[in-house]
C-alpha cells in the first residue's frame, strides 16, 4: 500500500509480531546515505579532527570502528542476536481505539519497545556495547543516565556479560525515580547522584551551584572523567547521540518496515521523541533510507521538550557533549554545554545537544523539529493509556502529543494519513510524574531566552 492510502481490509491484524527468524541480521548505518558528509569531530584540546587512537581511552576499538564506518550495513554478532531474542522482534500495534477516540481517518501505528527487560529501547545498544567491551577484556564501564532507562539497560547488559557498571544518575531523576535506581542496583550496578563529590567535574559544578539538580551533560562529565583517569581499567559507554549508538537502534526501524509491509501500509509520517536522538533515529533511519534512495516522501517529526529545545531554539555549532568540556567537539544543535535544563519529569530528554546525524538532517530539512510543554504531553499520555492500555514513559508522551496533533489535523482535512511512532518505553517507574499531573501539581517549567544567550556565549569558537 502506497503512502497516504490506508488499508481498508476489515480482517487486518492490529498486532503484528514478526517471527524470530526475521530478527535483523545487520544494523543500518545512515552515514552511508547522508546527503552530505558530517563535519569532522574535533579533539577538545587541539581542535583537530580526532583519530581512533584519541577515542581508545574511552571506547573499545569495535565501537570506534562502527562510529566512523561508512558501510551501509554492519553485521550484528550472533551473541548479541541471541540476547535480542529474549524480547525481539517487538510488536507493531495499530492504535485502533485511539483512532476512534480521536474520530480521525488516520491510521496510527506504534512500535512497542517497552516489552524489553529494561522496559525501553535502550537495551538494543547496551547489549551491543557490553559485548564489544567484553571482547577487549574490559572489566568496568562508567556511564550516565537521566530518567534511568539507559542506566537500567546497561546494568542488565553488564550483568549478562559480567562487567561492573558505574552509573552517574542525574540528581533530580535520582530523587524522582527511586525504583529506577533500585532496578540498576538489582543488577549489580553502583549508582551515584550527579553532580557528586566523587569527581573533579562534580565538585566544580557543586562549587558553582550547591543546589544543582544535575543534567545529562554534567553526568557525562563525571562518567567520562572516571574512565579517562582509570589508567585503562574502565571504558565509557553512552546511551544516545553517537553514531554507533543510533546504529544499534535501527533494529527497531527494520522490524517496523517489515511489520508495516505485513499490515499492507506505509507511513506518511514517522514520529519520535528526542533528547540525544537514539529512539527516534532507531525507528526513523530505515524509513529515511527509503526517502534518500527510493524517492519515498515520508515526513519525519522529532519532538523535544519546550524547556530543553535544542533543535527548535538551539544553535548549529561545534560544542562539547558534556558540561565540563572533557568530550570531543561535535557539530550539532546545542543550547550550550553550560545550559542546565529545568527539572522536568522526562529526564531522558534533558540534554543540551543532539545527535550529529539528526542535527545535520534537521539542518538539511529532512527532519522536522517540534517542541511541547510537559502538561500537554502528559495529557496526551493519559489519553493514550486510557485508550490503548499502556502507560507511556514521560519521554514517549512527547511523541504521542505530536501523533494526536497529526491525527486531529487529518480529521480536519479528511486526509487518510498513516502515522507511525516509537513507543520507546513504558512509564511504570514514572508514576510520581503521573501523580503530579493528575493532582494538578505538574509545572510547565519555563524556558529563559536570557539563560540561553548566557549559555550559548560559552560555545567554543571553531
Q: For the whole model, what pTM was predicted?
A: 0.93
Domains of the chain, residue spans: 15-26+76-119+243-456
Q: pLDDT by residue (tens digit) across 18-50?
A: 999 999 999 999 999 999 999 999 999 999 999
Residue 429 pLDDT: 87
Specify the pairing of strand 73-75 against strand 26-28. Answer: antiparallel
In SS3 terms, the chain reads as CCCCCCCCCCCCCCEECCCHHHCCCEEECHHHCCCCCCCCCECCCCCCECCHHHHCCCCCHHHHHHHHCCCCEEECCHHHHHHHCCCCCCCEEECHHHHHHHCCCCEEEEEEHHHCCCCECCHHHHHHHHHHHHHCCCCEEEEEECCCHHHHHHHHHHHHHCCEEEEEEEHHHHHHCHHHHHHHHHCCCEEEEECCCCCHHHHHHHHHCCCCCCCHHHHHHHHHHHHHCCCCCEEECCCCCCHHHHHHHHHHHHHHHHHHHHHCCCCCEEEEECCCCHHHHHHHHHHHHHHHHHCCCCEEEEEEECCCCHHHHCEEEEEECCCCCCCCEEEEEECCCCCCCCCCCCHHHCCCCCCHHHHHHHHCCCCEEEEECHHHHHHHHHHHHHHHCCCECHHHHHHHHHHHHHHHHHHHHCCCCEEEEEECEECCCCHHHHHHHHCCCCCCCCCCHHHHHHHHCCCCCC
Residue 33 pLDDT: 97
Average pLDDT in the 62-76 region? 97
| Number of Cβ atoms within 10 Å of the Cβ of 189 | 24
β-sheet with 190-194: strand ranges across: 190-194, 164-170, 140-145, 234-236
Residue 4 pLDDT: 44
* Residue 55 pLDDT exceeds 80: yes
pLDDT band for position 231 (50/70/90)? Answer: confident
pLDDT band for position 345 (50/70/90)? Answer: low
Q: pLDDT by residue (tens digit) across 127-178?
A: 999 999 999 999 999 999 987 889 999 999 999 999 999 999 999 889 888 8
Mean pLDDT for the chain overall: 93
Residue 344 pLDDT: 66
Cell numbers at residue 319, please? 560544542
Cell numbers at residue 145, please? 543516565
Residue 372 pLDDT: 96
CB-based burial, 54-86: b 16+ in 10 Å, e otherwise = bbebbbbebbbebbebeeeebebeeebbebbee
Distance, in Å, from the CA atom of 309 to the CA atom of 437, rounded to the nearest integer, reads: 21
The CATH number of 15-26+76-119+243-456 is 3.40.50.1100
Average pLDDT in the 232-250 region? 95
Q: How far is CA 365 from CA 161, 305, 355, 441, in A?
A: 41, 20, 15, 37
Q: pLDDT by residue (tens digit) across 368-408?
A: 999 999 999 999 999 999 999 999 999 999 999 999 999 99
Distance, in Å, from the CA atom of 455 to the CA atom of 341, rounded to the nearest integer, reads: 11
* Residue 3 pLDDT exceeds 60: no
Q: pLDDT by residue (tens digit) across 208-222?
A: 999 998 888 899 899
Residue 2 pLDDT: 37
Question: Which residue in the block uniquely carries the three cell numbers 546511551?
Answer: 239
| Number of Cβ atoms within 10 Å of the Cβ of 136 | 13
pLDDT band for position 346 (50/70/90)? Answer: low
Q: pLDDT by residue (tens digit) across 406-446?
A: 999 999 999 999 999 999 999 998 898 899 999 999 988 77
Q: pLDDT by residue (tens digit) across 292-316?
A: 999 999 999 999 999 999 999 999 9
Amino acid at each position: 500500500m502506497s503512502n497516504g492510502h490506508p488499508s481498508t481490509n476489515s480482517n487486518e491484524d492490529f498486532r503484528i509480531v514478526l517471527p524470530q527468524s526475521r530478527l535483523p541480521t545487520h544494523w543500518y548505518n545512515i552515514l552511508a546515505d547522508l546527503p552530505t558528509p558530517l563535519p569532522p569531530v574535533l579533539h577538545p584540546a587541539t581542535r583537530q579532527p580526532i583519530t581512533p587512537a584519541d577515542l581508545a581511552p574511552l571506547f573499545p576499538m569495535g565501537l570506534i570502528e562502527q562510529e566512523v564506518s561508512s558501510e551501509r550495513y554492519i553485521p550484528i554478532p550472533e551473541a548479541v542476536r541471541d540476547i535480542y531474542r529474549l524480547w525481539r522482534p517487538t510488536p507493531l500495534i495499530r492504535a485502533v481505539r485511539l483512532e476512534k477516540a480521536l474520530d480521525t481517518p488516520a491510521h496510527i501505528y506504534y512500535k512497542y519497545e517497552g516489552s524489553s527487560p529494561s522496559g525501553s529501547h535502550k537495551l538494543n545498544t547496551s547489549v551491543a556495547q557490553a559485548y564489544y567491551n567484553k571482547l577487549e577484556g574490559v572489566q568496568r564501564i562508567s556511564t550516565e543516565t537521566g530518567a534511568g532507562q539507559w542506566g537500567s539497560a546497561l546494568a542488565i547488559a553488564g550483568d549478562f556479560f559480567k562487567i561492573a557498571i558505574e552509573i552517574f544518575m542525574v540528581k533530580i531523576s535520582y530523587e524522582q525515580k527511586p525504583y529506577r535506581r533500585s532496578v540498576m542496583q538489582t543488577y549489580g550496578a553502583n549508582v551515584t547522584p550527579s553532580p557528586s563529590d566523587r569527581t573533579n567535574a562534580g565538585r566544580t559544578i557543586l562549587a558553582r551551584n550547591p543546589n544543582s539538580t544535575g543534567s545529562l551533560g554534567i553526568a557525562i562529565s563525571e562518567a567520562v572523567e572516571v574512565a579517562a583517569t582509570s589508567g585503562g581499567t574502565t571504558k565509557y559507554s553512552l546511551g544516545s547521540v553517537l553514531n554507533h549508538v543510533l546504529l544499534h537502534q535501527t533494529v527497531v526501524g527494520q522490524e517496523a518496515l517489515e511489520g508495516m509491509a505485513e499490515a499492507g501500509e506505509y507511513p506518511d509520517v514517522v514520529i519520535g521523541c528526542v533528547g540525544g536522538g537514539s529512539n527516534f533515529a532507531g525507528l526513523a533511519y530505515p524509513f529515511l533510507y527509503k526517502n534518500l534512495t527510493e524517492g519515498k516522501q515520508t515526513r519525519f517529526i522529532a519532538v523535544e521538550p519546550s524547556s530543553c529545545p535544542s533543535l527548535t531554539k538551539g544553535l548549529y555549532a561545534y560544542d562539547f557533549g558534556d558540561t565540563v568540556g572533557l568530550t570531543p567537539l561535535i557539530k550539532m544543535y546545542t543550547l550550550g554545554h553550560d545550559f542546565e535544563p529545568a527539572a522536568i519529569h522526562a529526564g531522558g530528554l534533558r540534554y543540551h545537544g543532539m545527535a550529529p546525524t539528526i542535527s545535520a538532517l534537521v539542518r538539511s530539512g529532512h527532519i522536522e523539529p517540534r517542541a511541547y510543554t510537559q502538561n500537554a504531553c502528559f495529557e496526551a499520555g493519559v489519553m493514550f493509556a486510557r485508550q490503548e492500555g499502556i502507560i507511556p514513559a514521560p519521554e514517549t508522551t512527547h511523541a504521542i502529543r505530536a501523533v494526536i496533533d497529526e491525527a486531529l489535523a487529518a480529521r480536519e482535512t479528511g486526509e487518510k494519513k498513516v502515522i507511525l511512532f516509537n513507543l520507546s518505553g513504558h512509564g511504570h517507574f514514572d508514576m510520581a510524574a503521573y501523580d503530579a499531573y493528575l493532582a494538578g501539581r505538574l509545572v510547565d517549567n519555563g524556558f529563559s531566552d536570557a539563560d540561553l544567550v548566557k549559555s550559548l556565549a560559552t560555545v567554543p569558537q571553531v
